[in-house]
Amino acid sequence: MSVMPLTAENFDETVASGTTLVDFWAVWCGPCKMQGPVVEAFADKHPEVKVCKVDVDEQPVLASRFEIMSIPTLIAFKNGQAVHMTVGLSTLEEIEELCK
């Protein structure tokens, strides 16, 4: 499954149902570049979870809404509600725990 970019316009509709993992990142962020392949591997392994990315530079409203202070930040949503969050690099296993 591919990782879908999110914007302020499609965010609420996308996370409204089921489980969604959102990766808040930026192009210039070294740790985000290392996190990217792990998030993609999670998406491939777990097609039942919607996996999305928010570029904090392009979507400052979303970054502000979720009080993103450091990146990468991963937030797991269940039926539109943020249920778990982690800041910094995460392993595949940690992401799987985040989305349980």
- The residues annotated with a catalytic role in the active site are 29, 32
Q: CA 56 → CA 9, 36, 69, 89, 100, distances in Å?
A: 14, 14, 10, 16, 25
